[in-house]
Each structure stands twice: as C-alpha cells, then as structure tokens.
A and B are shown apart, each in its own frame.
Chain A
Amino acid sequence: MSRVLVLGAGVAGHTAALLLRRKLPREHSVTVVSPKPTYNWIPSNIWVGVGLMKPEEVTFELAPVYQRHGIEFRQARAMEIWPEGGAAEASPHVVVESTGAAAGERACVPYDYLVNATGPRLNFAATPGLGPDGNSLSVCTAEHAAQASASLGSAIERMKAGERLTLVIGVGHGLCTCEGAAFEYVFNVDFVLRQEGVRDRARVVFLTNEAELGDFGVGGTHMRRGGYRVHSKTFAESLYTERGIEWITGAHVQKVEPGVVHYETLDGVDHTLPFDFAMLLPPFAGQVIKAFDKGGADMTGEVFAPSGFMKVDANYAPKPFEEWRASDWPKTYQTPRFRNVFAIGIAFAPPHPISKPRKSPRGTPITPSPPRTGMPSAVMAKTVAESLFGMIAYDLPGPTRTASLAEMGASCVASAGASWLRGTAASMTMFPVVPDYERYPEFGRDLHFTFGEIGSAGHWIKKILHHMFLYKARGRPGWWLIPE
C-alpha cells in the first residue's frame, strides 16, 4: 500500500489528485492538503472582477468532492518537508498546520510519494503599498476579484455623476507573471465602461513589465496573418489602440501610495501616475516551506530555489540568454534528490525566464516571469499522475511520462468583453510554449500550430470552457473525458 500526498488543490494539485484516485487501486491512499476549503476556477475571476459573476460561480467546496471520490482532505498549510523522515515520524512526511476548525494545530502527514502543487504565494510585500491590504486591487482570488468589482462599481457611479477618472490596470512589480490576466481585465473593464456609457470619462492605462505589448511572459509569438508572419506585439498594440487604452511598457512598480503609483521604466527614468482605481497583479513567490534531512539539518536550499519554488529535473546552471536551450526545461517534474517527490504547476522552479531578461541602467530587473498556469499546469498534473501510477502500481523505477513546456503546446482564450452577441475574446494557441530555436530556427515555434484571432467565437469558447472545467473539477460523471 502506498500513500500519495498532494500539496495544493489548485488546477495542478486538484487534477493530479482526481486522476491518481481514478487510476490507483483502492489499497493506495490519496491525500490532499490545502489551506483553503474551496476550489477556485481562477481564469473566470476576471468576470468576478467586473461584476459579471459572483464568487460562488467560480468556487465550490472541496470536501464533498473528495469524499465522493475517496480522497482524504486536510484543510491545512504545509510548513515543513522531511523527505528522509525525522525524529517525530520515521517515514517521509510533511508537517502541516491546520487552517480549519483546529486552526494552528500541527500534525505530521506521512507519504510514500509527494506531489508539490502549492501554487504561488501572492507576494504583495515585494512592492510597498501593493495589494488589497495596501492601496491597489487584485483579481488573483475570488475574494480579491469581488473587492475589485465593488471598487469598479463605485468608480462607475462617480463617472456617471460627471467625474473623470484614471483607471490603472496591469502588474505591480518588474518580475510579475500572468500579464495575460491583466490583459483580460483591462479589456473587460473597457467593455463594461462602454456598456455603462461612461467610457469617455475614463482614462484607462495598462501598466506592464513586458518590454513590448503581446509578450505575455513567453517572448510573444509570431502568427501568420494576411500573407505576413506578424509578431503578437502588432496585434496587441492594435487592440489597445482600437479601444483607446494607453499603455506603458517595461515598467517596474516601486511603490503604490494612495492614489499614486511610482514606477521605473527600462530606460531608468522614475515616473508617477495618479489613479482613481488601480488593479495591479502581484509577483509570485513559492510558498514558505522548509525542508529538513533525517538529522534535522535544514536542507531547504537544496530542495527549493531561492524564489521558494521546488527544484526539479531542469538545468539550473546559470547562463546568458543566448545559451538558453529548450532542453533546459524539466520533463518529468521529479526532484533530482528524491525519486518520490514531484513539483508541478507554479510550484516547480523554472530554469530561467522565457522572455529575454532586461534590466534598467540602474540594474533593476524588468522581465516577465515565465507563466505556467492553466493548461500547462493541468498537463503537468496528468503527466505526473500517470508516471506515479506506473511507479506505484507496477513498481516501475522512475517516471514514464514527460511534459516539457518546450515540447507541449498551449491554448489560451483571453476574454475581451463578456456578452453572447457583443462580447469577444482572443483565441490563441502556440506550439511549443517555450520557443525552441534549434528546432524552429526562424521564430522558435511551429507556425502551423500557432495562431490567434479575436471575435465572438472566442467568447463562446471561453464561456463553454468555464462550465466544462468546473464540471471536470467537480468530478461529475465522465469528468476524465474532458481534456486538460
């Protein structure tokens, strides 16, 4: 009998837990540890943030789903990993701290196989004044999005009363990721302002750490369009221009004061931007989890990167951008030291960014961090679940499945306004996610599988995906037939 422990119940952890439970014989146990009692379909938080959905429409209770599927659920936060066991528990285990009824109570959860899918720590503290506890808003959680929606509603009322307001939307640090979410939010805000008839009273500014619009943390992508092979920068700039949204690129937010954001741009110049409404996404860091060896010595630096993300089978040797290779990216997500420990989704440490790293003359790094959310997260979860199935049920010596970001494609549907007839969304696919300039020397990607277009069809797809993926996450009949 083997015990599989999954840390985290986001897209990656929840998918891995459901798939493992479905595949593994019942004598093996699957346990999920997550600090929150609910699952959140994060891509739809954008619609909560503009008041088109309620938080209840993008979340659901995890416990009944896990009970139905025979998965043990502990509402707790992982604090320490003891991969060799320790004095308190001889077998490998994780020390967790309850966030449920017995809040603060610590316990050891032993495992034979560990899947770390703890997702990001929203690092608002990296920028003074950033975040809902400071002077800006966020849509990273359903609660944050509801707060942003209420604030946007107030701003709309003020504009209806005749005021002219400045709305700043984007990212709140030079090393943020998830620029796609900020892109979706600014377009949805623009759409709602038009519906409310106040767009002419709003100055909407997109503030991003991307060196060029359309980078999205993956260096952008080329697409075939109108007989040309065009970079996504052209399409993104066109979409912003069409809507009258201003943009500021290559920006590192230094601090957010009440009504004023201070930022430095790639040319090293400091700027200030007054605002009446600001939604700025935070940078991500790994969860604060310590690792110890059998004797109790701290081995956190060996298991985790300085960012807090877990080291896996990637090439972490520091090297300049010109020497980056697709092969640097992990394939199996197994940790190099412990064959029974895997890290997936945002929890694994990427070997380096995907976009070209840039610094201001003062040395401030202003580079999008690599995105690894959504579809790639779920694909990693499926891959690791299948590998673990082989290792547990068939005693195979190692993982048998791979899912390198440099070998997989990704689809993305970015909402630009939610309405069945008047709404639109940008539908995009790219292959591979990480450009491979050895295989595709010209643009790093296969342009047969890399495309993008905007229209109502994209919105329909986005809406269908919302219902389809929530159905899948709820583990309803036939859930496994829905692809990642």
Chain B
Amino acid sequence: MHTPYDREYYIPTPSPTTLFFRTFVPWQLVRFAWINLKMIRMISIGHHGRVPLRPIVMPEPGDHRVQGK
C-alpha cells in the first residue's frame, strides 16, 4: 500500500477489470492470436536486407550448380 503524495501515488495502476482480463482465458486466447499476428508482421517487415547496389539472386540450399571454392 502506498500513502498519499509518495512516489507511487502518482503512478497509474490497473483497475480490477483490467486485472481480471489479464488472466481471463477467453479474452487471452483472442490476445494470443492478436499478439502472434503482430509479431509475425513485425518480423516479416524488418528481419534483414541485402547490401544496396549488389542485386544478387541467392541460390536455394542444395543448389550447387555454380562452382565452389
């Protein structure tokens, strides 16, 4: 418990409803799907790129038609 005018007094804290929904399984199943979609979307846009001005088509694994070193 914090007391009036201490540091914690000014900090937003969750309401009982918010706390309930954090562990309410049906709602969390919806959030589970939504968070996964958000993460997949983020990963798909920003994983890694290619060096500019070097438009090289990378071969598929196992494609060894070009001579190795």
Contact = CB atoms under 8 A, between A and B. Distances in A.
Interface in A452-473: 453-458, 460-461
Contact of A403 (B14, B47, B69): B47
Given A401-B51, A402-B49, A27 B68 contact: yes
Contact of A457 (B32, B50, B59): B32
Interface centre among B13, B27, B69 (most CB of A within 10 A): B69
A457 B54 contact: no
B34 to A, nearest CB: 8
Contacts of A427: 35, 39
A457 B47 contact: no
Interface residues of A, number: 56
Interface residues of B, number: 40
Contacts of B27: 455
A390 B47 contact: no
A332 B13 CA distance: 43
A389 B62 CA distance: 11
Contacts of A23: 61
Contact of B68 (A386, A392, A422, A453): A392
B58 A411 contact: no
B8 A390 contact: no
A292 to B, nearest CB: 25
Interface in B7-61: 8, 11-14, 21-23, 25, 27-29, 31-32, 35-36, 38-39, 41-43, 45-51, 54, 56, 58-59, 61
B59 to A, nearest CB: 7
Interface centre among A398, A401, A403 (most CB of B within 10 A): A401
Nearest to A247: B7
Given A424-B23, A457-B31, A461-B36, A400 B12 contact: no
B69 A242 contact: no
B10 to A, nearest CB: 9
Contacts of B14: 238, 242
Interface string A347-378: 00000000000000000000000000000000
Nearest to B48: A403
B64 A25 contact: yes
A407 B49 CA distance: 9
A456 B22 contact: yes
Nearest to A419: B23
Contact of A241 (B2, B36, B58): B2
A323 interface: no
A392 B69 contact: yes
Contacts of B66: 393-395
Given A238-B11, A400-B50, A429-B39, A453 B45 contact: no
A332 B51 contact: yes
A455 B21 contact: yes
Contacts of B1: 244
Contact of A402 (B32, B50, B64): B50
A234 interface: yes
A331 interface: yes
A393 B68 contact: yes
Nearest to A397: B54
Nearest to B34: A457
Nearest to A454: B22
Interface of A: 1-2, 22-23, 25, 27-28, 112, 234, 237-238, 241-242, 244, 331-332, 379, 382-383, 386, 389-390, 392-396, 398-403, 407-409, 411, 421-422, 424, 427, 429, 431-432, 449, 451, 453-458, 460-461, 483-484
9 smallest beta-carbon distances between A and B, as pairs: A457-B32, A403-B48, A409-B46, A457-B31, A456-B28, A455-B22, A457-B28, A241-B8, A449-B42
Interface of B: 1-2, 8, 11-14, 21-23, 25, 27-29, 31-32, 35-36, 38-39, 41-43, 45-51, 54, 56, 58-59, 61, 64, 66-69
Given A28-B68, A460-B28, 7 more contacts: A1-B69, A25-B68, A392-B69, A393-B66, A402-B51, A411-B43, A461-B32
15 contacts: A22-B61, A28-B69, A242-B13, A379-B47, A389-B58, A393-B59, A393-B68, A400-B50, A402-B48, A403-B47, A408-B47, A409-B42, A429-B39, A455-B22, A483-B47
